[in-house]
Structure 1
Amino acid sequence: MTHIYVFNMFQALVCLYALAKGGWPERWAAILLASASVATIVLAFEPVTHFRTIDMRELAIDVFLMSGLFVVAILANRFWPLWLAALHLLGIGIHGVRGSDPALVPWMYAVAEGKIAYPMIGLLAVGVLRHRLRLARYGRDPDWSFSWRRRRGEF
């Protein structure tokens, strides 16, 4: 149970760091990750059935998170959101493995599902750090791959 508290503290710190010091892609990723964690915590944990079958509510949260991360990855002027979305897609694939192999030991499903989140949080932290370094070096760091000013003909 301690590892859950450690993860929640780690994620809370990184998300606060992203909200305070990150650009818009970092902020959106932090909001998406934190929202998915809160939604997962709100779900009732049933030790008898948990990780023995696919919890469709958790799968729905993961799919909504994936769609948000996909939008950030496509629109952001950064490379790390692509890796973040790819890691989460791997997490969704773990649900598929559970669904296709009912003989999968529940603790393996639980470990695989839980441990993929650590590198995702690490990527967000590195993304914020690199954003801060680009701001310090160049004085600006465009958030999105499109520009509203260019669309209107302004530069």
Structure 2
Amino acid sequence: MHLLSAIGLAYQLLCFAMLAAGSRAAWQCGAHEARSAAVMLVVATAATWASNRHQYAAPELAMMVVDSLLFAGLAVLALRSHHFWPLWAAAFQLVTVLVHVAMLGQDDAGGPSSAWAYAIGLNFWSLPVLTAFLLGMRQAGSSVAADQAARHGIGYNIGGAA
């Protein structure tokens, strides 16, 4: 197997593992914004896989539409949320959209180096989006655990009274 193919496969497996872990955590915590983000990310991932031609020599317009819609969804989520992670995820997704926009302005003179930069630019930014999502799910899971502990009277007795 070619080294770059192996690295690409490992990267895709990492992203799918992060998406699966984050989606599971989103469903467990039960928060509407977490579940909404999980659905958006899963649908965007499936749509990207379905529309990806793996050429990157020209703008991938179908992928640009998917990435733009994901950005719009994450931006709306960020505007309605009081958590940090939707804003971070939306910001990282905006960079992905800007990579598409930059490729729209390229002529064919860039050749293989332009295609390589486009492919790396698109694929790299999925990792920070998923990282923000995972960190948000971790925070949401901690909040849910703290709420459950408070409801059941489990926790530290700060006042010292028995």
Distance 1:64 1:135 in 2: 29
Counterpart check, 1:94 vs 2:103: no
Q: Please list, as runs of the form range in 1=range in 2, the aligned pairs for 1:40-51 lying within 5 A after superposition.
A: 40-43=48-51, 45=53, 47=54, 50-51=55-56
Identity percentage over the alignment? 23
Structure 2 stretches of 5 or more lacking a match? 1-7, 150-162
Distance 2:78 2:133 in 1: 12
Counterpart check, 1:16 vs 2:30: no
Distance 2:117 2:93 in 1: 17
Distance 2:24 2:96 in 1: 23
Bigger mean CA offset, 74-83 vs 10-19? 10-19
Distance 2:56 2:19 in 1: 22
Q: Tell me the residue number matched to 1:72.
A: 77
Counterpart check, 1:105 vs 2:114: yes
Q: Tell me the residue number matched to 1:55.
A: 60
- 1:99-128 Cα shifts (integer Å, max 9, x gaps): 223325211110110011111111111111
Distance 1:44 1:23 in 2: 31
Q: Please list, as runs of the form range in 1=range in 2, the aligned pairs for 1:140-151 lying within 5 A after superposition.
A: none
Q: Which has the higher contact order (CA 8 A, sep 6+)?
A: 1
**RMSD after superposition:** 2.0
Aligned residue for 1:105, secondary structure, equals: helix
State the shift of 1:44 in Å: 5.2
State the shift of 1:135 in Å: 3.2
Q: How many residues align?
A: 137
Distance 2:102 2:79 in 1: 27
Distance 1:117 1:52 in 2: 20
Distance 2:117 2:83 in 1: 33
Q: Please list, as runs of the form range in 1=range in 2, the aligned pairs for 1:27-46 lying within 5 A after superposition.
A: 27-43=35-51, 45=53
Aligned residue for 1:54, secondary structure, equals: coil
Which has the higher Rg, Structure 1 or Structure 2?
A: 2
Q: Do the aligned partners of residues 139 and 77 (structure 1) sit closer, same or farther apart at CA in structure 2, a change above 3 Å counting?
A: farther
Q: Output the TM-score relative to the length of structure 1.
A: 0.78
Distance 1:8 1:125 in 2: 12
Report the structure, 1 or 2, having the larger helix content.
2
Q: Displaced runs of 4+ in structure 1, greater than 4 A?
A: none
